[in-house]
Structure 1
């Protein structure tokens, strides 16, 4: 389908045209990663579909359909929904803190019990934040995005959910929210006159935050990261076992279903946070590196889709969605290799879990929508809708 054909309204709105314009290479790569995740969950369970692999396969099938449906939705609807979505999600995060509906799970008060369903608003806040920031930047000039007092508005949009989620305390989600917001501001053209002083301030303030701003168990994670051998059977156990699994795989791995660290349950959280260590143990450097190549290809294709959008909103939103996906990969990869503290960030589409998978595929639904509607332009407007 040629660009000229797609720019004709009667042609680009046809369902058959939209389906053909979906980036199926990206869909296949996402499915390959998810398929590896299902295979590893099957292996970890000793060659059984329960308790993880079957659920993961069903979940991915459902969210893949959801992403493909979202790909057909015109970006103007995401544009209109951006501020209301951000506002609703912010209210849900506040409800966790200030109403009895919030409850503790995994040591953090980060879940909301609505009776008929339990949700983790921080997961969806990452999407709402990207959409809201994309809409704000769409309505402002390049100079205002580069260096202006108006940048206090997107900074506040990032800072408020960051502080609320960090207080739960959910340091992993707060980190993703803050870094995703920073990535969006950078992509939008933020001036180095702001980036450099902010970076220096962050470098100086981080030790103070670790000492005075963290809970004791969070501080212990940082100290364990610096020297896991200080408490090898306690706080350092996870990292030590992860490194053993990574190293024992060698170049080609021990073989599918033959990873001793995971099969004998030495590796903690082997189905969630540390599943990449299981991949490295069973398939070695070749397998784990191939998986990282798939992740890199997904990120590069996503960024290319963002760059082709005629809409500034589409460019910023797609870039932001790819950025938070990339942050999941980088933080989890660094975490299991002992290059970063353990903060509970899963490996996207590989780790077992529903909320993270839904968030990621919702984001890629928007990326695919940007690809399908890349020739569409959106008007500027400052109203709520």
Structure 2
């Protein structure tokens, strides 16, 4: 990047003040995030048996802190994030390596690391940093460079290295989501479709090797997905109870705090992975559809940001963040309804947990920065 371009990058838009940027923040989207978090508060209040101190209050406090962080990030010039993307990616990758060496074990997996009072899951942070890094890399690419395989090799490594580290934790679900995010970014940047066909062919050929290296419990999840009744008291228990709860809610639900599967502790992990099932049991099909509508409105806003943004970096970043949110929602809902094998993927801003909320809201801070600075001239550096 030339010095002239660098100076132009940093000096343009100096006349826009903080109050002008605050005016540009899409406050309706902020209210939408509050509504989604509010659904989470209500669901976690019920999951705690009516005790707000068990899950709900901590959820509210985390969201309040993260919302302040989002608004602060929205005021930061989005071009600064592009320049520091490599640093964020390197930090997330370093944390993944640290987890592999000294991470805390829970549920048979080594996925967490303690940073002060926070139990951080670096794989969640990597999702955001990978999207940011790929957006920063691809925003400078011309159509001709996108056709050069050597130009695509570095970003491919940027995707495959964290996928491998996450898979070894083991965390098959998150590693596949990170791989899918990388695919979305490559597609959005303009990679030719036949390259995707080649990669999918290689993945299909490697599937037997991947299956052979899965842990026993991961294989059991796949077997249970195909036939849950084959082990109703073991590997199939979770999904069977989830389906019972979903069906028993009917159209309007059993009522707030009246869900029998959840409150009689038949429904497993009702405050985290299976919280959507609890919502459906107590508020029925109507409550489930309203929740899904709120979640999909977030995706719609991400697409709107990408369409309205004038610079490639912002478009790629918005699409990647929207894809991350969509994959969260799709995998969780498909999992609890029996559409895919069960895996440990929470419902964003609704499930109990600090790492997913912190990293998700970090992504929304970047998204709002793109929106606030969507009209900037974010030029392409000349070689």
TM-score band, normalised by the shorter chain?
over 0.9
Deviations, residues 343-382 of structure 1 (Å, cap 9, x unaligned)? 1000111100110001111101111111000011334449
Structure 1 residue aligned with 2:42? 39
Equivalence map 1:314-329=2 (5 Å): 314-329=314-329
- Distance, in Å, in 2 between the alignment partners of 1:113 and 1:154 is 29
Equivalent of 1:79 in 54, 71, 82? 82
Q: How many residues align?
A: 372
Q: Map residues 270-285 of structure 1 onto 2, 5 A cutoff.
A: 270-285=270-285
Describe the superposition over 1:101-138 as per-residue Cα deviations: whole angstroms up to 9, x where unpaired. 32312211122345675432211111111111011101
Aligned partner of 1:123 in structure 2 is 124
Cα deviation per residue 1:309-362 (whole Å; 9 max; x = unaligned)?
122111111111111111000000100001111110001111001100011111
- What is the alpha-carbon distance in structure 2 between the residues aligned to residue 377 and residue 156 of structure 1? 30
Matched, 1:195 2:196: yes
Once the two structures are TM-superposed, the CA of residue 305 in structure 1 deviates from its matched residue by 0.5
Contact 1:146 1:188 in 2 (8 A): no
The aligned runs of 1:7-22 (5 Å cut-off) are 9=13, 13-22=16-25
SS at match of 1:111: strand
Q: How far, CA to CA, are the matches of 1:129 and 1:315 in structure 2?
A: 15
Matched, 1:107 2:105: no
C-alpha deviations, 1:259-300, integer Å up to 9, x for none? 111111110000000000011111111110111111111101
Q: Check conservation: 1:306, 1:367, Cα contact below 8 A.
A: no
Task: Tell me how far apart the structure 1 counterparts of residues 208 and 247 of structure 2 sit (CA, whole Å).
Answer: 31
**Contact (CA 8 Å) 1:302, 1:318: kept in 2 or not?**
yes
1:283–1:116 distance in 2 versus 1, CA, 3 Å = closer
Q: What's the CA shift string for 1:160-192, capped at 9, x where partnerless?
A: 000011011112221221111111111111211
Aligned match of 2:59 in 56, 59, 63? Answer: 56
In the other structure, the counterpart of 1:89 is 92
| Contact kept in structure 1, 2:69 and 2:362, CA below 8 Å | yes
Report the TM-score when normalising by structure 1.
Answer: 0.92
3-state secondary structure, aligned to 2:378: coil
Equivalent residue for 1:286?
Answer: 286
Name the structure 1 match of 2:184.
183
* 8 Å Cα contact 2:120/2:354 also seen in 1: no
Offset at residue 17 of structure 1 (A): 1.4
Deviations 1:180-227 (A, max 9, x none): 1111111111211112222233344334422x1211111111111111
Q: Do structure 1's residue 136 and structure 2's residue 149 form an aligned pair? A: no
- 1:81 and 1:57 map into 2 onto residues whose CA distance is 30
Q: Is the 8 A contact 1:303 1:318 kept in 2?
A: yes
